[in-house]
Structure 1
Amino acid sequence: MLKNSFFNLSLRGSTLLSKFLLMFVLAKYLEPGQLGIYGIFVSAIAFSLYIIGMDFYIFNTREILASPKENHLNLIKDQFILHFILYLFIFPLLLFLFYFHILPLKYLIWFYLILIVEHLSSEFSRIFVTLEYPIISSIVVFLRNGAWALFVIIYIYISTIKDLEIIFYSWFIGGFVSIVISIFILRKLLLIKVVKKVDWKWLRKGCKNSLRFLISSISLASIEFVNRNVLKIAYSNELVGIYTFYSNITNLIQVFVYTAIIMIMQPQLISLFQKNELEKFYEQKKVFNKRIVLSSFLLGIFSIIGIYPILYLVNKPIYSTYISAFWILSLSTVINVISQVFYTSLYIRRVDSKIVLSSFISFLIALIMNIILTPSLGIYGVAISTLVSSIVILVLQYYFDKSSQKEY
């Protein structure tokens, strides 16, 4: 058990380290303008993932945990059929990203290829977590996010060619390999189960349920998408590149807490609550809450201290000029992570409408503040908007959680 936990943590740690090193190398060897284009591309992928995924996994996670093992394969199969149908309708709509010059037209093929492998791989990794195979999930995540990044780091370091094509090529290969391995392992795990016809009634129910989460997720993803594009319109890709560098480093706090704590403990908490083992549930929930709060604060302090040697090694004064924005973004991320305590509580007790409402209000505030502040304050306007929206979602979810517990 201890050996498995150590191996799982090592895989997750390697993925985080790879992502950090990739951002460091990109900041050092690419021009800020190129990094800005990459940042907008990444945010466009993240935004689009929510639309084509429809957050159906949130509904299906609870369904899988509440159903007998013999029905797991059918639930998974029906989910992926829904995604393939969504591809047919959503993919043409995403052309607006290129029509309005949010992304350069030359990256259109890369955008769709990476979007497909990123989405399918993400769904597989979530399924493995739900089925309580965290190590397999970690392997899939490492292939999708870590392994290819190591190749890019080495390539950019030794090559005279410094462009985005090699990043997109490697990203696609990493995602594709993770999908092939996921399908192979999933077949081994679920091969003996009986496959039934598509349950369209269940899919309709899931879509109706997932729409609420979709509004919430798109609202949160839109904050980052709006941040970078308002900054691009008001200023330049160069400033977007600086923001991308800082936000990716602070985002490692959130990724670490999610992979090391939330991803592991959340399915256990859901299962305990659904089985009505409330005494164990509340004991585990206390541990969950303490770990999130403590780790987010420690990582926030570590990031603020650690940014200085990173900037020294990057050796580009333009990044150091905006160091105050990094402090604001770090605080924003810590607050965002702490809000997961109340989000998880609401999610487990199925108070979905409050999750949606808090996310949507947070997005509206971020949008309004971005429009007002960014043209005059630049990257500081974006950072302040993000901080305020993070505080809003924390306060709202805290309030909704306490109110709903009284009702419950």
Structure 2
Amino acid sequence: MRFGTLSTRFLFVFFLARYVEPTSVGYYGLFTATIIYGLYVVGLDFYVFLSREIVTVSEDKRGAMLKGQLALCGLLYVIVLPTFVLVLIRMDWSVSMLCWFVPILALEHFNQEISRLLIVLSDQVAASMTLFVRQGSWAIAAVALMIGYPEGRNINVIMALWVCAGLAAGALGIWRVKQLPIGGWSRPIDWRWVRKGISVSAAFLVSTLALRGIQTADRYWMEGLGGIETVGAYVLFLGVASTLMVFLDAGVFSFSYPALISHNHKREYDLARATVRRMFFQTLVISVAFGFVSWALLPYLLHWVGKAVYQNAFGLYPWVVLAAITNAVGMVPHYALYARGVDKPIIYSHIAALPVFVTSTWCLSKGHAELAVPISMTISFTLIMIWKAVAYHLVDSNHSTPKSA
């Protein structure tokens, strides 16, 4: 199911590039980047705290935890969402994009939290099924419409399919969660526990918003440097490169990090170290293979798309895929630190990466134009990767007592 999702998303981005104007592809990229950024604003990164807590408590307490998360998110929607929409209005978003933004954001957030819950409770099969419905099913429908019906080749049709798939995935996720061993739904919400979670996740939120700020500002900055059609080409290349992380999440990380949390909770540090070592080699081999294969095949796919704007921008891709590989490898020490409960290196590295990205993009844009953005992303992700790797090495050298670093 994960491979099917990966394949359909990979194909979708090329059919989108073939049948939809590059300007529309560019606006689609800006929309998706803003959705992803918005997920963290309305979710407060609370899952970071919840994921470590829920696997360590008895089944009859889990429902109360989830109720606390739902209540918190409800408050955040009431407080934050109107402000978010006002900002988008000031950025001259079209009325149609604004109308699609709220339902898609809510559905993506709900389904994302369901998937995270299923993964952390080691129900990866159900998580894969909901992911396919949420991301793969509407991509298949969109491709079929674009091929068979010229009137289906517009962004509004794609957004409508996205909403329908989100509703179906949400229904499937609720059905599966009801079957899980989760009790305690009748317990009152422990607001003290929620406040503790906010204090833990708030620090993560700052670092996550800094990291996601890079992955959102890159598209807007690219528009300023090369125009909306260049954003369309950049989004196409990002769509190809991002399949690497989807594949790694499905085949490596979603199976390894629940085990890492369990090993560290039980102080089984030798087993945790072996898991990290296996994650690293799997990630490295898959990433390098993906980089070479995608780089070799992409020119043929661009020829099939048949639009000069994408072929002329091919020089962006080596830097885009290098940034994706650096980010992927950096996730290994990220999960290792997270499972140990060592959060500060994660937070500090993400926060430090944002000014590095801004400074390097500003400097490089004077002489390298559009290349400034992907090169700066590579520099930022390299900083994050090295910072986390060094921090994990220092923590692991004193594995008997996990410490913040």
- TM-score of the superposed pair, with normalisation by structure 2: 0.94
Please say if 1:171 is aligned against 2:166: no
In structure 1, the partner of 2:127 is: 137
1:332-379 CA-to-partner distances (Å, cap 9, x unmatched) read 111111111111121112221111110111121112222333365332
Q: Give the superposition deviation at 1:265.
A: 1.0
- Which of 69, 76, 101 aligns to 1:86? It is 76
Superposed CA RMSD: 1.6
1:251-292 CA-to-partner distances (Å, cap 9, x unmatched) read 111111112110111011111110122332222222222111
Distance in 1 of aligned mates of 2:23 and 2:319: 22
Q: Give the superposition deviation at 1:82.
A: 1.1
In structure 1, the partner of 2:376 is: 385
Distance in 2 of aligned mates of 1:276 and 1:405: 12
Q: Aligned pairs, how many?
A: 398
- Which of 314, 334, 344 aligns to 2:325? It is 334
1:215-253 CA-to-partner distances (Å, cap 9, x unmatched) read 121111111211111122333211111111111111111
Moved more, 201-210 or 257-266: 257-266
Distance in 2 of aligned mates of 1:367 and 1:176: 37
In structure 1, the partner of 2:310 is: 319
Please say if 1:310 is aligned against 2:301: yes
In structure 1, the partner of 2:111 is: 121
In structure 1, the partner of 2:172 is: 181
Q: Give the superposition deviation at 1:190.
A: 4.3
In structure 2, the partner of 1:14 is: 4
Please say if 1:53 is aligned against 2:53: no
- Which of 130, 145, 148 aligns to 1:155? It is 145
1:177-206 CA-to-partner distances (Å, cap 9, x unmatched) read 111121122123247645200110000000
Moved more, 103-112 or 196-205: 103-112
1:376-405 CA-to-partner distances (Å, cap 9, x unmatched) read 533211111111111111121122222333
Please say if 1:226 is aligned against 2:217: yes
Stretches of structure 2 that go unaligned for 5 or more consecutive residues are none
Distance in 1 of aligned mates of 2:129 and 2:176: 11
> Is the 1:49–1:119 Cα contact (8 Å) retained in structure 2?
yes
Distance in 2 of aligned mates of 1:328 and 1:102: 30
Residues 234/102 of structure 1: CA separation in 2 closer, same or farther (3 Å cut)? farther
Residues 317/271 of structure 1: CA separation in 2 closer, same or farther (3 Å cut)? same
- Which of 246, 253, 266 aligns to 1:275? It is 266
1:50-95 CA-to-partner distances (Å, cap 9, x unmatched) read 1111111111010011111221222122111111111111101112
- Which of 219, 235, 245 aligns to 1:254? It is 245
> Is the 1:227–1:370 Cα contact (8 Å) retained in structure 2?
no
> Is the 2:252–2:282 Cα contact (8 Å) retained in structure 1?
yes
In structure 2, the partner of 1:373 is: 364
> Is the 1:54–1:211 Cα contact (8 Å) retained in structure 2?
yes
Q: Give the superposition deviation at 1:102.
A: 5.6
In structure 2, the partner of 1:5 is: none
- Which of 51, 62, 73 aligns to 2:63? It is 73
Distance in 2 of aligned mates of 1:172 and 1:375: 41
Q: Give the superposition deviation at 1:100.
A: 2.8
1:288-318 CA-to-partner distances (Å, cap 9, x unmatched) read 2211121111111121112122112111122
- Which of 346, 352, 363 aligns to 2:343? It is 352
Distance in 1 of aligned mates of 2:148 and 2:110: 32
Distance in 2 of aligned mates of 1:278 and 1:393: 24
1:16-45 CA-to-partner distances (Å, cap 9, x unmatched) read 111111101011111111100000000000
Stretches of structure 1 that go unaligned for 5 or more consecutive residues are 1-10
1:144-190 CA-to-partner distances (Å, cap 9, x unmatched) read 10001100010111112221001110101101111112112212324
Return the letter of the residue paired with 2:293. F
Return the letter of the residue paired with 2:143. I
- Which of 20, 31, 43 aligns to 2:21? It is 31
Distance in 1 of aligned mates of 2:19 and 2:8: 16
In structure 1, the partner of 2:89 is: 99
Return the letter of the residue paired with 1:363. L
Moved more, 243-252 or 310-319: 310-319
Please say if 1:297 is aligned against 2:288: yes
> Is the 1:227–1:382 Cα contact (8 Å) retained in structure 2?
yes
